[in-house]
Structure 1
């Protein structure tokens, strides 16, 4: 505590400061989050491409689920391996490698002659998507100043939803201009452009000061801080980083999963896994991947379903801006609660609309029903992208110790992608067996369980540097009296 008070008293632009962000930090965030743009485009483009590749690739409900979910299976392992290697070779080199894999996967899916090759290259693409989801937030969190970390890390989520919106616009545009049956390959190929830009841009970016310090390269850590911090801030932040790493050395903390044998780290890892998984069990990606399919199932035409899906992308982008604004004003824990409770209510709304409203009136398709389902989707995405998704990526980039951040982040995001994979694989079968209403009622019940987890387990990390968060969570989870309720109503972080 004395150390924290000393740092707090002597910092110039700490977590509570209004100091402006250095230009290089903004450039780094813009380039690195091209990985998020690719993440969004490659996960979103399949929603429209599925409507047109089915005949050529002879897709069944099962292989449709495989084509969609194979990317997510690859993403799980991409997150796991990139987390390990990011600690060994650096965050920057991993992102450069992922850019190459993005390009290979995009070209491969565009040229796939049959469903087997499509699934293979979707897995390859997934490795890049998962690696980017685990590495880019950590890279930005470690290179950003504490007072701007929330907003800068959340740019990743903004780029993800922007990529999804671009995918929806691309799908509708190709269909309107040339007809989707002949152009779905171009829909998939377009992703090579931001992949090349990501590779080229990251060649000129530095690695993070915390990674350099972790490797004992303090001179390089200082150089990065001098380029990304106000002059008077360099010394205290470098001292804070080195003192925390020295303390980890005394505790014999290493970047290995064997550290899970320590009770407080095991509890922290489980909290991280829980935060990651509840973002997926809301069913968000069934909406992002299958929205046109669902809207066609409730009566919309193909053209109307593709056009309406653009609204999903647009509301996601708009609400992510709202989320970035909120992160600068309210706590992480509060925002998770708003997102989780709101999403769960919307799931029950969609289920109720599709169950109680008639499919036809006087022999005609009830158009109002399809637009009420679309309204439910838009309300859901407002809570998901305006609250739950941005704060999920931010919390995951903040809560793990420096030496373990890459490994633990990879493990948590691995769990996220496995959950996403299972849900996306099962959804077409769920839709065929219990219908749209049954599927969303099931997601709603899972959402209630997620809300209980949020109330009990999600911590507050706002207004702390990464090193202060590490000390705080160590004390918190090591105290037997506090472990019964891991998220007390009033956190010390709010008073700093």
Structure 2
């Protein structure tokens, strides 16, 4: 392989590894349009509860995949884990498309979720460990960009296939099968990607770690970062091999509490009620199925556009103000949907108002809240526990996601559009209060400096000062 500049090599690493995020996005977003077709009486004839189970079966698998995947990534390496995940993505996507019954589909979606959960932990950790501190925010949030790009691809393909081939009985099977294609790219791409230098140092592979650092840094930066990694690991020798009991160490327990809270707050904002059930929301507001599929593309477009904006904002502003801005913006949009859905029930203008508000909601979610969430989760844990800690944290994220995905169609069917969104607005207020009180500022600090702040107890004092 010819020599490349560190910047070009890092771009290559980022593009290839974030195909895991693209798969994450497509597989979570494709159900949005596919549900309308698979629910038909001549297909799987799904009840509202079964619709929730089909959508959330993946999310329950993702909860388990994130929990187990972090430990596997710690033991076998970030690169090797992504190779495993590519194979699962490929096989499970084909299994979903060929499912003869709803029960088999839920099972295949569960297996697919194992890969989604593993990718949600491994890709951000891999990018955080490969990136220099001054570019970590931009690189890690590239994964969030690929997630929403995957969702946009799902929405666009759903709309095209639904409008052009909507009369075809099994169109939903083709929607689900397309997810196997990016999995092939991920597998072949990761074959030529390097392992994380921090993981290599943990394994005692010092020469390999330095070789990787020289590819992704200039000579001076490579030596300085290598020394910092070694110095930091020297302070953790008393931990020896990381175990889950290490997460109960007081200063690490504090990180776990904050990280779990950040993960839960991102989900209770209600974002995935729109990403999974946007078509149903728009049909409930008054659109036809085909019009809802087309309108839902706007949600995907704004998600991608807002993520670009979020990446730009992360380079200029701290994590805390962006997270709180996202919580306030999403909460206001949810309140507006709830209020106007009640006041304008049955009006011809209502579906267009709801669509404009879901687009605004996703601007705040994907431009502020989601990029900060994944970046913070990749930053907070010490190197020796990063995979394990993110596994536990993202487990909470996916379990919360599962509860939202399973309950939303039932809530919509039982209470209607207005009351359902008021419920999520109330949960968003709790998320805002948590961010204000507990979320630390990590911008401008190396991963080793963040760890030292928590170890010394100074991080808590800074959060308290910021809250005041």
Please report the TM-score for the alignment, with normalisation by the length of structure 2. Answer: 0.96
What is the SS of the residue equivalent to 2:384? coil
Partner of 2:185: 197
- Pair 1:243 & 2:231 matched: yes
Partner of 2:136: 149
What is the SS of the residue equivalent to 1:489? helix
What is the SS of the residue equivalent to 1:242? helix
Partner of 1:105: 92
Segments of 5+ residues of structure 1 without an aligned counterpart are: 1-19, 360-365, 492-496
Aligned partner (choices 211, 228, 242) of residue 216 of structure 2: 228
- Pair 1:252 & 2:239 matched: yes
Partner of 2:342: 355
Partner of 1:16: none
Separation (CA, whole Å) in 1 of partners of 2:240 and 2:435: 28
Partner of 1:6: none
Partner of 1:425: 406
CA offsets, 1:230-267, max 9 Å, x none?
11211110000000001011x42642210122111111
What is the SS of the residue equivalent to 2:159? helix
Q: In the TM superposition, what are the counterparts of 1:347-426 in structure 2 within 5 Å?
A: 347-359=334-346, 366-426=347-407
Aligned partner (choices 118, 122, 134) of residue 131 of structure 1: 118
Q: In the TM superposition, what are the counterparts of 1:67-466 in structure 2 within 5 Å?
A: 67-179=54-166, 181-249=169-237, 251-252=238-239, 254-359=241-346, 366-466=347-447
Runs (4 or more) in structure 1 with deviation over 6 Å come to none
Separation (CA, whole Å) in 2 of partners of 1:101 and 1:311: 30
Label 1:490 to 1:283 Cα distance change in 2 as closer, same or farther (>3 A). closer
Partner of 1:62: 49
Separation (CA, whole Å) in 2 of partners of 1:177 and 1:79: 37
Please report the TM-score for the alignment, with normalisation by the length of structure 1. Answer: 0.91
Partner of 2:465: 488
Label 1:315 to 1:487 Cα distance change in 2 as closer, same or farther (>3 A). farther
CA RMSD of aligned residues (A): 1.5
CA offsets, 1:415-457, max 9 Å, x none?
0000000111011111111111111101111111111000000
- Pair 1:41 & 2:33 matched: no
Residue 487 of structure 1, CA deviation: 4.3
Residue 173 of structure 1, CA deviation: 0.9
Moved more, 447-456 or 175-184: 175-184
CA offsets, 1:174-222, max 9 Å, x none?
1222226431111100111100000000011111000001111111110
Separation (CA, whole Å) in 2 of partners of 1:240 and 1:146: 12
- Pair 1:53 & 2:53 matched: no
CA offsets, 1:443-496, max 9 Å, x none?
1111111110000000000001111111112223687xx4xx8443189xxxxx
Q: Count the aligned residue pairs.
A: 461
Segments of 5+ residues of structure 2 without an aligned counterpart are: none
1:460/1:487 contact within 8 Å kept: no
1:21/1:145 contact within 8 Å kept: no
1:146/1:466 contact within 8 Å kept: yes
Label 1:189 to 1:214 Cα distance change in 2 as closer, same or farther (>3 A). same
